[in-house]
Amino acid sequence: MAKIGYYSRKPLPLEMHKVCVVQKTEIIPVEERVKAIRKAGFNTYRMESKDIYLDMLTDSGVNAMTNEQLGAMMLGDDCYAGSKTYYRLADKIKEIFNKDYFLPIHQGRACEYMLALAYVKPNPGSIVPMNFQFGTSVGKIKYCGGDYVICLKEEGFNKQSTDPFKGDFDLEKLEGVLKANEGKIAFVRIESGTNLIGGQPISLDNMLAVSELCKKYGVYSVLDASLLQDNLHFIKTRENKYKALSIREIVRKLSDAMDIIYFSARKLGFGRGGAIILNDEKQYEYIKTFVASFEGFPTFGGMSVKEMEAIRVGLDDTMDEDIISQGPQFIEYLANELEAAGIPVVTPPGGLGCHIDAMKFIPQIKHGHYPAGSLASAIYIASGARGMERGAIDEPWDSETEDEPYGSMELVRLAVPRRVYTVSQINYLVDRLCWLRDNKDLIGGLHFETKGPHQFYDALTADSDWPEKLAAKFREDFGDSL
Ligand code: F0G
């Protein structure tokens, strides 16, 4: 990571790139923003990009690409089987991860589907222990007749903490699960970093210990490396024991310990795609049959060769400390600015994005009125920034009880796509969130028109005309400013 001291200013995250290509964006007036969020059913997933100023919904598939990636895309060798592109990417993966076999797959959740088809069985249902669940991965496990067990250490659930590695497994709990379910474990899933608890990292030590336990109980260790690039930065900067190792050495140590690695290249590799990589030829041949049936011929697996070339270059960038420190530094800056302004955020800042604790920000909105959904709508009205609800709207319903799921987390995620937004845009957002903090009593709740199970992309209704009142106060305070 570039170490830059400042002479007369408070340090700012410093971009280690210059901009080659830009995309125009605009801010629509606050009254129009209210209409846009109402039309979208107060669900930011349903919004149109034209109405958004800062798109902070996700860091997935929306990271800025380099001129070298764009150039490499022209090398794509479009050929059904055995393209040069496949072999170039396979060589890059071998160089970085030291694994012999690589299956291209069109995105992360499709990798999860392939692994579930291969290893999760019903009657008796297989068990997949994991540090924490992610919607796309557990969906496939359940679909194939299995179930999952969360083995996150207790501190991981603490939203305000100083623990540098909140994504760590509780190793004792994991061992207990492995012991109690001998013969039923499909694999152990290690999510590095841990998305739904705030992009929190897992330590290299913990991942190595999990791999040892997997060996002891004869089960596969499967690394979800989708968010690995941020996690690598945190290992390098927070885990003293491995400070002397280069990023490539850390990856190698981790990779050598894992049986199977998969990732969404919408995050890792700055492209759009995915991959499963492993060393065991027999297992490779086995998983390949599913890839050929469901994804595409196994030398492209549903991916465009242009994206495969971009990912090849993007994976090299992922080994560069200057590059991978950018995301976490911007997130840390945003989180620190918000915390200093008295806005409750998940700490320590993680990767992927900054997470605001909605239950603390607007305590007047209770469960059943969707605090995180309400806050995400209010943030959009105040700023034109689109965040993501991470709470009861997003949570899958339990099909057995049909009860509304109220998890412990009601968060608004403000993802920071890598190298997309500037410090001045982040400062603008902080300003609007400070205004919202001072007007938070105007924020009301949301509800679904119909009771019963709903999907995370379904429409809601505002409990009152609070969005219009919030916009009217904005107009009063800001005059003719957008
Ligand atoms: N694993 C993790 C840890 C993820 O964060 C995601 C996606 C996936 C797997 C699935 O990958 O989208 O390529 O199918 N996370 C996105 C997000 C959707 O916005 O956090 P995918």
Instruction: Examine the pLDDT at 207 and tell me if it is beyond 90.
Output: yes
Q: What is the largest CA-CA distance in the chain?
A: 68
Domain assignment present for residue 24? The answer is no
Helices 30-39 and 466-478 pack at an angle, to 10 degrees, of: 160
CATH number of domain containing 330: 3.90.1150.10
Please check whether residues 333 and 199 belong to one and the same domain. no
CB 58 near ligand 1, within 6 Å: yes
Please check whether residues 203 and 173 belong to one and the same domain. yes
Domain assignment present for residue 400? The answer is yes
Q: How confident is the model at residue 206, as a pLDDT?
A: 98
CB 402 within 8 A of CB 451: no
Mean pLDDT in the chain?
96
Alpha helices in 341-387 (DSSP H): 358-361, 371-383
Closest residue to atom 19 of ligand 1, CA basis:
58
User: Tell me, what DSSP letter sits at residue 49?
Assistant: G
Domain assignment present for residue 13? The answer is no
Residue 26 CA, distance from chain mean position: 26
CB 60 near ligand 1, within 6 Å: yes
Q: How confident is the model at residue 397, as a pLDDT?
A: 78
Domain assignment present for residue 405? The answer is yes
CB 264 near ligand 1, within 6 Å: yes
Q: How confident is the model at residue 470, as a pLDDT?
A: 98
Please check whether residues 134 and 246 belong to one and the same domain. yes
CA of 228 to the centre of ligand 1 (A): 12
CB 286 within 8 A of CB 58: no
CB 64 within 8 A of CB 416: no
Domain assignment present for residue 434? The answer is yes
Instruction: Examine the pLDDT at 354 and tell me if it is beyond 70.
Output: yes
Q: Which amino acid is present at 201? A: P
Instruction: Examine the pLDDT at 339 and tell me if it is beyond 90.
Output: yes
Q: How confident is the model at residue 421, as a pLDDT?
A: 96
Q: How confident is the model at residue 403, as a pLDDT?
A: 76
Instruction: Examine the pLDDT at 126 and tell me if it is beyond 80.
Output: yes
Q: How many domains does the chain have?
A: 2
Sheet holding 147-150, edge to edge: 101-105, 274-278, 260-264, 221-224, 188-191, 127-130, 147-150
Please check whether residues 108 and 215 belong to one and the same domain. yes
CA of 226 to the centre of ligand 1 (A): 7
Q: How confident is the model at residue 135, as a pLDDT?
A: 87
Q: How confident is the model at residue 405, as a pLDDT?
A: 77
Please report the DSSP string for 210-234 in residue order.
HHHHHHHHT--EEEE-TTHHHHHHH
Q: How confident is the model at residue 268, as a pLDDT?
A: 97
Average of per-residue pLDDT across 28-55: 98
Strands 385-386 and 54-55, sheet pairing: parallel
Could you give the CA distance from residue 211 to residue 18 in angstroms, rounded to a whole number? 40
Please check whether residues 101 and 51 belong to one and the same domain. no
Q: Which residues pair with 386 in a beta bridge?
A: 55
Q: How confident is the model at residue 10 (pLDDT cuts 50, 70, 90)?
A: confident
Please check whether residues 310 and 334 belong to one and the same domain. no
CB 8 within 8 A of CB 16: no
Q: How confident is the model at residue 68, as a pLDDT?
A: 97
Please check whether residues 363 and 263 belong to one and the same domain. no
CB 357 near ligand 1, within 6 Å: no
Q: Which residues pair with 102 in a beta bridge?
A: 277
CB 353 near ligand 1, within 6 Å: no
CB 44 within 8 A of CB 289: no
| Residue ranges making up the domain that contains 398 | 30-59+323-478
CATH number of domain containing 166: 3.40.640.10
Buried b (16+ CB within 10 A) or exposed e, 173-204: bbbebbeebeebbbbbbbbbbbbbbbbbbbbb
Could you give the CA distance from residue 260 to residue 390 in angstroms, rounded to a whole number? 28
Please check whether residues 168 and 188 belong to one and the same domain. yes
Closest residue to atom 11 of ligand 1, CA basis:
108
Average of per-residue pLDDT across 179-203: 96
Instruction: Examine the pLDDT at 305 and tell me if it is beyond 90.
Output: yes
Please check whether residues 465 and 355 belong to one and the same domain. yes
Q: How confident is the model at residue 399 (pLDDT cuts 50, 70, 90)?
A: low
Closest CA to 56 of 324, 464, 429: 429
Please check whether residues 299 and 330 belong to one and the same domain. no
Tell which of 320, 343, 375 closes a domain: 320
Could you give the CA distance from residue 450 to residue 263 in angstroms, rounded to a whole number? 37
Domain assignment present for residue 14? The answer is no
With a pLDDT cut of 70, the percent of the chain lying above it is 99
The reply to whether omega before 193 is within 30° of 0 (cis) is yes
The reply to whether omega before 124 is within 30° of 0 (cis) is yes
User: Tell me, what DSSP letter sits at residue 245?
Assistant: S
Q: Which two tokens stand for residue 399?
A: 């099909």
Please report the DSSP string for 50-102 in residue order.
GG-SEE-S-SSS-SPPPHHHHHHHTT----SSS-HHHHHHHHHHHHHH--SEE
Please check whether residues 153 and 117 belong to one and the same domain. yes
Q: How confident is the model at residue 1 (pLDDT cuts 50, 70, 90)?
A: low
pLDDT tens per residue, range 426-463: 999 999 999 999 999 999 999 999 888 888 999 999 99
CB 136 near ligand 1, within 6 Å: yes
CA of 426 to the centre of ligand 1 (A): 24
CB 442 within 8 A of CB 364: no
CB 231 near ligand 1, within 6 Å: no
CB 200 near ligand 1, within 6 Å: no
Is the pTM higher than 0.85? yes
Half-sphere exposure in the Cβ direction for 283 (13 Å, CA): 19
Average of per-residue pLDDT across 155-159: 94
Tell which of 320, 353, 379 closes a domain: 320
Closest ligand 1 atom to 110 CA: 14
Domain assignment present for residue 342? The answer is yes
Could you give the CA distance from residue 407 to residue 164 in angstroms, rounded to a whole number? 23
Please check whether residues 296 and 328 belong to one and the same domain. no
Tell which of 320, 353, 388 closes a domain: 320
Domain assignment present for residue 456? The answer is yes
| Residue whose tokens read 């945190």 | 234
Helix or strand (DSSP H, E) at 333: helix 326-340
